[in-house]
């Protein structure tokens, strides 16, 4: 569909132009997830009511 919308004659042209963008976005997503999972430890004191807050949080854009 993208090939047709852009008027490229061959899908290889479309893939060659935009593949790096896709890989860059994948890397950013992986880095964001990794940072969220390895984020700073929760500084709240331990609770005894059985509630365990999430270990970290991340901004989703």
What residues does each domain of the chain span? 2-37
Distance CA 23, CA 18 (A): 9
pLDDT value for 61: 58
pLDDT, one tens digit per residue, over 10-61 is 999 888 887 777 788 888 888 888 888 876 555 556 666 666 655 555 555 5
Contact 56, 37 (CB under 8 A): yes
pLDDT value for 58: 56
pLDDT value for 1: 86
Model-level pTM?
A: 0.37
Contact 56, 36 (CB under 8 A): yes
> Quick check: 6 pLDDT over 80?
yes
| Residue tagged 């893939």 (tokens) | 15
Tokens of 19: 């593949």
């Amino acid at each position: 569909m993208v090939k047709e919308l852009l008027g490229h004659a061959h899908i290889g042209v479309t893939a060659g132009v935009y593949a790096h963008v896709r890989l860059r976005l994948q890397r950013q997503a992986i880095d964001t997830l990794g940072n969220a999972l390895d984020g700073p430890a929760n500084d709240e004191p331990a609770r005894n009511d059985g509630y365990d807050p999430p270990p970290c949080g991340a901004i989703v854009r």
